[in-house]
Chains A and B, each alone.
Chain A
């Protein structure tokens, strides 16, 4: 079974600064997807960024980028130029790329990191 670990229960950052959230995972599979989701106080799950394991290039979405280290099974999220609206709980998640079975699409989440942004 796959596991996802976020070792930082809480992080804080000053507005306009950069912060990095850590995530490690364990799997025996070679093909999979990794995600970062943001959950603001509204509790809506918002996809921040996604990485396919077969791609060596790190994914980037505007101010959000990842550092994907497949051999180390590490998937950190960097938020640049932090904004007050970035304050939320962030979840790292794993999904198998295997397309068979009734559990296709199942996400395994890390424990989450609460990010506070100080003005």
Chain B
């Protein structure tokens, strides 16, 4: 089955630094990937839609300059949290679409802690 690999699975960084999270589709090409954010015991909130070769589409209220998304190839999308602050600490999950009528495939998520 389709596999989505997300790396790193957890990261701790200092306030003011930037962190990059990678989302790779291992055995299929993903023209569209989605980035979600999840707080403990809460739902997944869509942050942005990443499309290969074009600018990402951000949801209302998501800071584009804070959460940089790059989808440079059909198998890789990256989310960079710039100038991270403790309130950016959260669980970030990516997902990818393989094609028509197929369910989304999720990465295992990244737990970000900003100290």
Known: A44-B109, A99-B100, A109-B44. 9 other contacts (CB 8 A): A35-B103, A43-B38, A43-B93, A45-B93, A102-B51, A104-B32, A105-B34, A105-B104, A107-B44
Q: Which residues of the partner chain A approach B104 to less than 8 Å between Cβ atoms?
A: 95, 105, 107
Which residue of chain A is the closest to B49 with respect to CB atoms? A103
Cross-chain contact A45 with B106 (CB below 8 angstroms): yes
Cross-chain contact A43 with B91 (CB below 8 angstroms): yes
Q: Is A111 an interface residue (CB 8 A)?
A: yes
Q: Is A89 an interface residue (CB 8 A)?
A: yes
Which residue of chain B is the closest to A108 with respect to CB atoms? B46
A interface, by DSSP: helix, strand, loop or mixed?
Answer: loop
Q: Known contacts being A103-B49, A103-B57, A104-B32, is A110 close to B43, with CB within 8 Å?
A: yes
Q: Is A63 an interface residue (CB 8 A)?
A: no
Interface residue tally of chain A, by bracket? 20 to 34
- B43, B97, B109: the one contacting A91 at CB < 8 Å is B43
A109→B36 CA distance, assembly (Å): 11
Q: Is A70 an interface residue (CB 8 A)?
A: no
A residues at B contact (CB < 8 Å): 33, 35, 42-45, 47, 50, 89, 91, 95, 99, 102-112, 114
Q: Which residues of the partner chain A approach B91 to less than 8 Å between Cβ atoms?
A: 43
Q: Which residues of the partner chain B approach A109 to less than 8 Å between Cβ atoms?
A: 43-44
Q: Which residues of the partner chain A approach B38 to less than 8 Å between Cβ atoms?
A: 43
Of residues 25 through 76 on chain B, the ones whose CB sits less than 8 Å from some CB of chain A are 32, 34, 38, 41-44, 46, 49, 51, 54, 57
Q: Which residues of the partner chain A approach B57 to less than 8 Å between Cβ atoms?
A: 102-103
- A47, A105, A112, A114: the one contacting B32 at CB < 8 Å is A105
Cross-chain contact B32 with A44 (CB below 8 angstroms): no
Which residue of chain B is the closest to A95 with respect to CB atoms? B104
Q: Known contacts being A47-B103, A105-B32, is A112 close to B46, with CB within 8 Å?
A: no
Q: Which residues of the partner chain A approach B77 to less than 8 Å between Cβ atoms?
A: none
Q: Which residues of the partner chain A approach B100 to less than 8 Å between Cβ atoms?
A: 99
Which residue of chain A is the closest to B51 with respect to CB atoms? A102
